[in-house]
Amino acid sequence: MEDNLDHLQLLQMELKSFGWDSIAAVDGREALEKVREREPRFILLDLMIPQISGIEVLRILKSDPTYRKIPILVVTALAAADIREKCLSAGCDDFLLKPFTRQDLETRLRRIVS
């Protein structure tokens, strides 16, 4: 889930290069709808998305027994000291600060998906 279309396309290309298909959402409401439709293997979640914030999407999914086991990697440009802790407390499986390298992304995804 990423609201910047350029970043979204780049993430989709990276995921494809790692051997994974992807579905995309540009806001929190759409993200929740797509998760409910497809039950993905993992979720990349930006915190700064419209409609429903990324942290709220995280809380909703992790509080629902149907979706709480889906690994969520938060990817964000928010560098405030407490953001990482808030995300981990809300249930994210890992946290990656933008900008990040292709290798960082792949390593973190493989860790949470395995």
Whole-angstrom Cα distance, residue 33 to residue 76?
21
Q: Report the domain count for the chain.
A: 1
- pLDDT of 96 above 60: yes
Q: In Å, how far from its chain's centre is CA 13?
A: 15
Q: Which residues contact 104 (CB under 8 A, 6 or more apart)?
A: 96
pTM of the model: 0.90
Rounded to an integer, the average pLDDT of 76-95 is 89
The mean predicted confidence, pLDDT, of the chain is 91
Structural domain range at position 89: 5-113
Closest C-alpha among 93, 102, 96 to residue 70: 93
CATH number (domain holding residue 62): 3.40.50.2300
Q: Would you state the pLDDT for residue 56?
A: 96
- pLDDT of 79 above 80: no
